[in-house]
Chains A and B, each alone.
Chain A
Amino acid sequence: MAAHLSSGRVNLTALREAGRRELREFLDKCAGSKAIVWDEYLTGPFGLIAQYSLLKEHEVEKMFTLKPGRLPPADVKNIIFFVRPKLELMDIITDNVLREDRGRSPQRDFHILFVPRRSLLCEQWLKEQGVLGSFIHREQYSLDLIPFDGDLLSMESESAFKECYLESDQTSLYHAAKGLMTLQALYGTIPQIFGKGDCARHVANMMIRMKREFPGSQNSIFPVFDTLLLLDRNVDLLTPLATQLTYEGLIDEIYGIQNTYVKLPPEKFAPKKQGESGKDLPTEPKKLQLNSAEELYAEIRDKNFNAVGSVLSKKAKIISAAFEERHHAKTVGEIKQFVSQLPHMQAARSSLANHTSIAELIKDITTSEDFFDNLTVEQEFMSGIDTDKINNYIEDCIAQKHPLIKILRLVCLQSVCNSGLKQKVLDHYKREILQTYGYEHILTLNNLEKAGLLKPQTSGRNNYPTIRKTLRLWMDDVNEQNPNDISYVYSGYAPLSVRLAQLLARPGWRSIEEVLKMLPGPHFEERQQLPTGLQKKRQQGENRVTLVFFLGGVTYAEIAALRFLSQMEDGGTEYVIATTKLINGTTWIKSLMEKLEPAPF
């Protein structure tokens, strides 16, 4: 079941096991039958740690969603609230508790599990509402970094970017630091920490502080990670705005991947039975899990979409040939062997069918005129063309009232590639947007400015060309089929963040001091003491392991780029990726939008 977690250089199964153990312990503490009332936000991430079957083993009989009003009837001894420490949720819990019929029998016991941390603030709030005493067990479940795949961890904190960069609320950074402490408790102290950005600095400071709080707890573990690289999202605001062009990136851009699951339009996935008419098409979206446990997916997920087709057709031939083998199987032994392979072959065939359908769906979009026009403009901006003028395509799209987020991504991309827009250009775009989509979006525009995504050019000079040239962000000679550089993930643009990681490994950041100064926030290096005897001695040819932590979000394309570096022959470094959230341009901008609906008269 954990095949996808043990596939990488670092076995993340241990992390999940630790999570499961903690959950089991808590459930057992609340002895007897139980019902869990879920903060909806948590159900997705929890699913990656434990399935319902595990909960059932510990007498969880019912599950409800947290909402105001009276709790549904359920004949259980315990009601446990699984919630984030947010005051709004405390109000709902209070409502639930107060409305509980104390006369009923048997009486139900209440408990709270705070995820990821208990909160004095919340408990004080509950006390003031007079319900704190109603809870028997009040605990915390430190679910910070959730393993998504063998080399991928995410906190799935949707609001992290907004909180850190717009609201000066660094709560999620505190949780990131705690998550890193948990990681070090399992995998050993990380001897070297590099970082770029204010948030990175803050996290590093907290890590060093936290180490002092619990001295001696990490003594005996042989360090697995050599280096930790902390990167602020705002060091590279460009990358998430561009449309991702890897297979997995496109699935996320178009359909949205949630906690490794994707929901797809069902039409292409209807099983073709004999004599079935076209009327019985399923209406429920097709839900698929996407991770490295699926062989074919692991092979194609990080490829540029244009290179996927040939892999699929090759696979089709191999699988066809394998099935043909049954005609050649003559002896009982051969037939037996064939039959034993059957499940694996059927799985492979089903996998191929799914991904062929998905690829077809994606192709419909990528071959559309609109996609092409959009991509062209993106690439113009990223290669530095005409970033200082009002763009005709953007204007046309506004005039035709294309989806607002598409417009916002484009204007922000232009602004970032120009180090901010000239006041005239900025005002023009803002005016057009507010006229067309409504004045209520002015708050969103303010947020985008605060975040540095859509702002006036302050210094009068555009740094982007220098950064682009020094870091080789735009590569004309990109090879999508057999890439030799990370720029294949955006068909020409090398993600700035990944370039920084690449250069850190070799030859080091000294070589790009000047450019680093143009990017926001300090850059730094820290060393953590390892107990003597645990100094890592690397074998000949063994790669370093670097954990790259994106503070504010990371895209699948960047993950693909880092995996590419890991696989490079003389790379010397293998990467594990951690982030506050898996994002794409759309979800990212959405998180910065203020939703305002006028109250009805």
Chain B
Amino acid sequence: QVQQKDKSDEEVAQAINHKLGDTPGISYSEIATRAYDCGRAELAIKLLEYEPRSGEQVPLLLKMKRSKLALGKAIESGDTDLVYTVVLHLKNELNRGTFFMTLQNQPVALSLYRQFCRHQERDTLKDLYNQDDNHQELGNFHIHSSYSEKRIEGRVGALQNALDEFNKARNDFAAKRHLQEHFDKPYLDLSLHDTVSTLILDGHHKRAEQLYREFRIPDKRCVSPWLGGGSGWGGGAACPVPQRVPVLVPRRDLEQAAEAAMERRSEAEMNLVLSRCSPSTDGAVAEKLTRARAQLIKK
């Protein structure tokens, strides 16, 4: 009956289905294959509609170059292995742009593809999130990457990227947190106490708070007496324990820290800031500080 060329595809398909119904043992995919081999592609596809076994249906649809239909059917079946197969087939078949667009229309396929990339192609994952403008996830991605960076510049770079993404996602909480680094490199000699007090008195409350939070102060019940001087912390649970603790001063505040150190006439603080000055970019600041320090020593 497949070879009857005079009737329309639709009619033939229906007639066959009418005759066979859902009788077990009849393979619609076999019939469809025959139809395809006879050159009646449309008929084949209509016959495949009746094939309940997606494991048969989908690969045949792929063979008949109906990839988008195959994708839809695979998703309907719930068989994620089948979906993966179609997705990767599409990846090879389509150009990147079209491929991503197709995935956009099928959220289930998109999620699965993301899963695949998470394990096998992390860079593509970034592109996917970019396409979605998903800044929250991009932020998470960069944090994850920072842990595989072997060099400190790489790690800081990744965290900076994370900060930018979180800012775009308006995730204030994470944005504040990103600056904290957990490396064991001892940086400088200045006590936490001094740096923070400087910053507070200059009104840099947020920055000071950040530095505090970084150092996992254990005793949450004490409130430092000299905190009362500044314009208030709110929340006030953390107690700064005066100690010689390594401190990382973010580059952006180098100038401000330098100003503060000079105002306070603290040699120790000036040293701190100086050591953070990179000769290539912070020449001016370094010079100012050196001069100020020299004056101090003279006195």
Residue positions of A touching B, CB distance < 8 A: 85, 87-88, 117, 119-121, 124, 163, 167-171, 173-174, 177, 202, 205-206, 209, 212-216, 395-396, 398-401, 427-428, 430-432, 434-436, 438-440, 442-443, 446, 594, 596-601
Q: Does B115 contact A (CB under 8 A)?
A: yes
Complex CA–CA separation, A124 to B88 (angstroms): 10
Q: Nearest-CB distance from A588 to chain B (Å)? A: 20
Q: Are A443 and B115 in contact (CB-based, < 8 A)?
A: no
Stretch of B79-87, B223-231, B253-261 contacting A (4+ beta carbons < 8 Å): B79-87
Tell me which residues from 86 to 130 in chain B have a Cβ below 8 Å from any Cβ of chain A.
Answer: 88, 107-108, 111-112, 114-116, 119-120
Q: Are B78 and A174 in contact (CB-based, < 8 A)?
A: yes
Smallest CB gap from A424: residue in B: B235
Q: Are B85 and A439 in contact (CB-based, < 8 A)?
A: no
With A169-B112, A601-B151 as known contacts, state yes or no: A87 contacts B119, CB within 8 Å.
Answer: yes
Q: Which residues of the other chain, B, contact A216 by a CB distance below 8 angstroms?
A: 24
Q: Which residues of the other chain, A, contact B213 by a CB distance below 8 angstroms?
A: 431, 434-435
Stretch of B3-11, B214-222, B276-284 contacting A (4+ beta carbons < 8 Å): B214-222
In the complex, 24 of the A-B residue pairs with CB atoms within 8 angstroms, ordered by the A residue number, are A87-B119, A120-B59, A121-B85, A163-B115, A167-B111, A167-B115, A168-B107, A169-B112, A169-B115, A171-B80, A171-B81, A173-B78, A205-B78, A206-B78, A213-B54, A398-B220, A399-B221, A431-B173, A438-B182, A440-B182, A443-B140, A443-B144, A599-B148, A599-B149
Smallest CB gap from A177: residue in B: B78
Complex CA–CA separation, A170 to B79 (angstroms): 8
Tell me which residues from 231 to 258 in chain B have a Cβ below 8 Å from any Cβ of chain A.
Answer: 235, 237
Digit string of B49-63 for contact with A (CB within 8 Å is 1, else 0)? 000111000010000
Smallest CB gap from A120: residue in B: B85
Q: Which residues of the other chain, A, contact B237 by a CB distance below 8 angstroms?
A: 395
Complex CA–CA separation, A215 to B140 (angstroms): 47
Complex CA–CA separation, A432 to B219 (angstroms): 12
Smallest CB gap from A216: residue in B: B24
Complex CA–CA separation, A87 to B118 (angstroms): 12
Q: Which residues of the other chain, A, contact B22 by a CB distance below 8 angstroms?
A: 212, 215
Q: Are B81 and A121 in contact (CB-based, < 8 A)?
A: yes
Q: Are A601 and B152 in contact (CB-based, < 8 A)?
A: yes
Q: Which residues of the other chain, B, contact A438 by a CB distance below 8 angstroms?
A: 182
With A121-B88, A124-B88, A216-B24 as known contacts, state yes or no: A87 contacts B120, CB within 8 Å.
Answer: yes
With A167-B115, A174-B79, A439-B180 as known contacts, state yes or no: A599 contacts B147, CB within 8 Å.
Answer: yes
Smallest CB gap from B82: residue in A: A120
Tell me which residues from 26 to 53 in chain B have a Cβ below 8 Å from any Cβ of chain A.
Answer: 52-53
Q: Nearest-CB distance from B179 to chain A (Å)? A: 10
Q: Which residues of the other chain, B, contact A600 by a CB distance below 8 angstroms?
A: 150
Q: Are A594 and B144 in contact (CB-based, < 8 A)?
A: yes
Besides the known contacts A121-B81, A177-B78, 14 further A-B residue pairs in the complex with CB atoms under 8 A apart: A87-B120, A119-B81, A167-B111, A169-B112, A173-B78, A212-B52, A213-B53, A398-B220, A399-B220, A446-B136, A446-B140, A596-B143, A596-B144, A598-B147
With A88-B119, A213-B53, A596-B147 as known contacts, state yes or no: A399 contacts B218, CB within 8 Å.
Answer: yes
With A124-B88, A206-B78 as known contacts, state yes or no: A439 contacts B182, CB within 8 Å.
Answer: yes
Complex CA–CA separation, A443 to B162 (angstroms): 12
Q: Does B275 contact A (CB under 8 A)?
A: no
Q: Are A598 and B182 in contact (CB-based, < 8 A)?
A: yes
Q: Nearest-CB distance from B43 to chain A (Å)? A: 22
Q: Are A434 and B144 in contact (CB-based, < 8 A)?
A: no
Q: Nearest-CB distance from B63 to chain A (Å)? A: 13
| Partner pick for A174 among B80, B148, B220, CB 8 A cutoff | B80
Q: Does B174 contact A (CB under 8 A)?
A: yes
Complex CA–CA separation, A427 to B144 (angstroms): 21
Q: Are B88 and A601 in contact (CB-based, < 8 A)?
A: no
The residue among A85, A214, A599 with the most chain B CB atoms within 10 A of its own CB is A599
Q: Which residues of the other chain, B, contact A442 by a CB distance below 8 angstroms?
A: 143, 174, 177
Complex CA–CA separation, A442 to B152 (angstroms): 20
Main secondary structure of the interface of A (DSSP, over half): helix
| Partner pick for A597 among B77, B81, B112, B147, CB 8 A cutoff | B147
With A435-B213, A446-B140 as known contacts, state yes or no: A170 contacts B182, CB within 8 Å.
Answer: no
Complex CA–CA separation, A212 to B107 (angstroms): 26
Q: Which residues of the other chain, B, contact A85 by a CB distance below 8 angstroms?
A: 81
Q: Are A427 and B152 in contact (CB-based, < 8 A)?
A: no
Complex CA–CA separation, A213 to B140 (angstroms): 42
Q: Which residues of the other chain, A, contact B114 by a CB distance below 8 angstroms?
A: 167
Main secondary structure of the interface of B (DSSP, over half): helix
Q: Nearest-CB distance from A387 to chain B (Å)? A: 21
Q: Are B144 and A435 in contact (CB-based, < 8 A)?
A: no
Question: Which 7 interchain pairs have the tightest Cβ spacing?
Answer: A168-B111, A171-B80, A399-B220, A120-B85, A121-B84, A206-B78, A216-B24
Q: Which residues of the other chain, B, contact A205 by a CB distance below 8 angstroms?
A: 78
Q: Which residues of the other chain, B, contact A443 by a CB distance below 8 angstroms?
A: 140, 143-144
Q: Nearest-CB distance from A195 to chain B (Å)? A: 15
Smallest CB gap from B111: residue in A: A168
Q: Which residues of the other chain, A, contact B120 by a CB distance below 8 angstroms?
A: 87
Q: Which residues of the other chain, B, contact A598 by a CB distance below 8 angstroms?
A: 147, 155, 182-183
Q: Which residues of the other chain, B, contact A206 by a CB distance below 8 angstroms?
A: 77-78
Q: Which residues of the other chain, A, contact B183 by a CB distance below 8 angstroms?
A: 598, 601
Q: Are A435 and B81 in contact (CB-based, < 8 A)?
A: no
Q: Nearest-CB distance from A162 to chain B (Å)? A: 11
Q: Which residues of the other chain, B, contact A177 by a CB distance below 8 angstroms?
A: 78
| Partner pick for B52 among A168, A169, A213, CB 8 A cutoff | A213
Q: Which residues of the other chain, B, contact A395 by a CB distance below 8 angstroms?
A: 220, 237
Q: Which residues of the other chain, B, contact A446 by a CB distance below 8 angstroms?
A: 136, 140
Complex CA–CA separation, A589 to B116 (angstroms): 23
Q: Are A430 and B107 in contact (CB-based, < 8 A)?
A: no
Q: Nearest-CB distance from A172 to chain B (Å)? A: 9
Q: Which residues of the other chain, B, contact A202 by a CB distance below 8 angstroms?
A: 78
Q: Are A169 and B80 in contact (CB-based, < 8 A)?
A: yes
Q: Are A435 and B214 in contact (CB-based, < 8 A)?
A: yes
The residue among B84, B183, B235 with the most chain A CB atoms within 10 A of its own CB is B84
Q: Which residues of the other chain, A, contact B177 by a CB distance below 8 angstroms?
A: 434, 439, 442
Complex CA–CA separation, A177 to B85 (angstroms): 20
Q: Are A120 and B214 in contact (CB-based, < 8 A)?
A: no
Digit string of B148-174 for contact with A (CB within 8 Å is 1, else 0)? 111110010000000000000000011
The residue among B54, B155, B216, B219 with the most chain A CB atoms within 10 A of its own CB is B216
Smallest CB gap from A88: residue in B: B119
Q: Which residues of the other chain, B, contact A396 by a CB distance below 8 angstroms?
A: 220
Q: Nearest-CB distance from B256 to chain A (Å)? A: 24
Complex CA–CA separation, A174 to B76 (angstroms): 11
Smallest CB gap from B209: residue in A: A431
Complex CA–CA separation, A231 to B116 (angstroms): 28
Smallest CB gap from B148: residue in A: A599
Q: Nearest-CB distance from A204 to chain B (Å)? A: 11
Complex CA–CA separation, A524 to B149 (angstroms): 49
Q: Which residues of the other chain, B, contact A428 by a CB distance below 8 angstroms?
A: 235
Smallest CB gap from B81: residue in A: A119
Q: Are A430 and B173 in contact (CB-based, < 8 A)?
A: yes
Complex CA–CA separation, A163 to B112 (angstroms): 10
Q: Which residues of the other chain, A, contact B220 by a CB distance below 8 angstroms?
A: 395-396, 398-399, 432
Q: Are A124 and B85 in contact (CB-based, < 8 A)?
A: yes
Q: Which residues of the other chain, A, contact B112 by a CB distance below 8 angstroms?
A: 168-169
With A168-B107, A174-B78 as known contacts, state yes or no: A440 contacts B147, CB within 8 Å.
Answer: yes
Complex CA–CA separation, A485 to B182 (angstroms): 50
Q: Which residues of the other chain, B, contact A435 by a CB distance below 8 angstroms?
A: 213-214, 216-217
Q: Which residues of the other chain, A, contact B173 by a CB distance below 8 angstroms?
A: 427, 430-431
Q: Which residues of the other chain, A, contact B218 by a CB distance below 8 angstroms?
A: 399-401
Q: Which residues of the other chain, A, contact B119 by a CB distance below 8 angstroms?
A: 87-88
Q: Are A209 and B80 in contact (CB-based, < 8 A)?
A: no
Complex CA–CA separation, A599 to B151 (angstroms): 9
Q: Nearest-CB distance from B149 to chain A (Å)? A: 7
Q: Which residues of the other chain, B, contact A431 by a CB distance below 8 angstroms?
A: 173, 213
